[in-house]
Amino acid sequence: MTSDLLVVGGGPAGYAAALEGAALGLSTVLVEKSELGGTCLNIGCIPTKLYLGATEAVEELAAARRLRLATGEVSVDLSALKQRKDRFLAATRKAMQAKLEAAGVTLRRGQARFDAEGAVEIVDETGSHILTFERAILAAGSEVVDLPALPADNERILNSTQALELSTPPARLAIVGGGFIGLEMGQIFARLGSEITLVEALDRLASVEDPEVSAELARSFKRAGWTIKLGTKVMGHEKTAEGLTLSLESGESVLADACLVVVGRQPSAKNLNVEAAGAKLTPRGAVEVDAQLKAAPRLYAVGDVNARTMLAHAAEHQARYAVNHLAGKTGHAYVDTGLPSIVYGAPEVVRVGSLAAELKDLGQSVQVSRAPLAANAIAQAHGQTAGFVKVTWSGGRIRGVTAVGHQVSRLATLAEVMVRQGWTERHAEALIFPHPTLDEALLEAVKGKREEV
C-alpha cells in the first residue's frame, strides 16, 4: 500500500491531520496501535473532565455551606461514574472511526516503525507489512514517566491511567507530583472522599505558572484539607497490610492506602526508528523539528512527540498546520503565540501568552495590571471569590493573561484573542461586556492600574 499522506498515531494530532489531509484530496492512511483518541480521550483530558464535572456539585455545596446558606452532602458513586466514563469513551471512539471512514481515510491497526525515508513497517496480528508514502506526519503522543522510587504496581502504587480504573476511592491518597495532572486528580479524589497528601519536589505547586498563582493554589487546597509537602522528594516506600508508607527526603513519612505517581509525561518516540526516516531525537527523547515542524525531508512531527507543548489543542493546531504546509497551502514558520493552558477544577488556572518573568528575561520593559475575583458578581454568586485575573503588558500592548479562581477557564478564548492581536486598553473598552459575567473580571484587569515589574 502507498499513500500521499501517512499519519502515525490516532490521538488529537493524528486524527486532525488525517481529516485535514483527506479534505485536501490526499490519499491518507492513519496507523494506530491501540485506541483512537490517544491519551486525551482515553486516559487524560476527557475522562478527568468527566470526573470533575460529575463531582462539581461537591464544591458548590461546600461553598454554600461556608456561607451558611445550605446543608447536606453530595455523594458520588465512583463505580457508576467509571461505567459512564467507559460508555462515553467507547461511543466517542466509534464516532471518530465513522468520521474517518466517511472522509475516506484508511485506518490501519498496528505498531508502526519507520523502515526508510519513505516507508514504514506495520506489525499487526497478521504479521509485518510495509507501507510507502510521499509525506508522513508522526503524532505518536506521549507516555507516563515512571519514578524509580515508586514503580507502579496497579495495587498500592498507581499511575494516572490506573487511577482512572478505580471503582472505590482510597481513604488516604498520597499524590506525588504537583503539576496539572496531580492537582486535577487530587481534586477528583478529594471530592470522592479521599484524604489527600500531596508531595512535590519543587518549592511550589504548578511550577510553570506565575508564582502568585502557585501561592493561591496552595492556599486553596490547604483550606480544602489537603496536606501539602513542598521541596521534598520520595526516597523510598514500604508496603504493609495497612497500606503504604512513603519515606521523604525531609525525614518525614506519609501513610496512605494508595499512592498516585504523576511526575510528568515523555514523548513516545524511542521505539519508532525515526532515524530510518532521517529524523533525530533530542536528549529528552523527543523528535527534533525545525520551524516548520519538519523532522526530515518527508516527515513532520507534531503534538507531544516533539515535546514543544504537551497539550491536546496544541497538538491539533500543529497537525493542521503541518498538513497545510506539506500540501503547499502555507509557507510561513509555525507560530502558536497566545497558546492557552488550563488547569481545571476549583480553583481553575488559565494562562495565555507570556508571564511577566518571561518577558523580563528577554530584556523587555514589563507592567502588570490585575483585578480580584472578589469584585466579580458571578464569583460572588457562587461563593467562590478567591483568586484574581492578571494582565501582562509590554510596549502598551497585552502580551499575556493569567488567572486563578472560579471557572476562569471561561476566559481562555477571549484572552487568546487579546494576546494574539496585541490589544491595547482601548480595544477592550470598545467591546460591550455582558453583565454580570466572569468576563468582566478580565475587562477590569485590563483597565486596572499598571505596575512596573
Would you name the residues annotated as active-site residues? 435
Strand segments, DSSP code E, in 316-414 are 340-343, 348-353, 367-372, 387-394, 397-405
- Closest C-alpha among 261, 30, 19, 231 to residue 147: 261
Q: Where does residue 113 rank: exposed (0-12), middle (13-18), buried (19+ CB within 10 A)?
A: middle
**How many beta carbons lie within 10 A of that of residue 201, not counting itself?**
17
Half-sphere exposure of 421 (CA within 13 A, CB side): 12
CA-CA distance, 311 to 304, in Å (whole number)? Answer: 7
Q: Report residue 184 CA to chain centroid gap.
A: 10
Q: Where does residue 328 rank: exposed (0-12), middle (13-18), buried (19+ CB within 10 A)?
A: exposed
Q: Which residues pair with 259 in a beta bridge?
A: 157, 174
User: How many residues would you count in the chain?
Assistant: 453
CA-CA distance, 320 to 160, in Å (whole number)? Answer: 29
CA-CA distance, 150 to 115, in Å (whole number)? Answer: 36
- Closest C-alpha among 304, 318, 262, 307 to residue 283: 307
- Closest C-alpha among 312, 341, 291 to residue 16: 312
- Closest C-alpha among 77, 337, 385 to residue 223: 385
CB-CB contact of 113 with 120 (8 Å): yes
**Cα dihedral 321, 324, 330, 336 in deg (nearest 10):** -10
CB-CB contact of 141 with 8 (8 Å): no
- Closest C-alpha among 65, 38, 50 to residue 267: 38
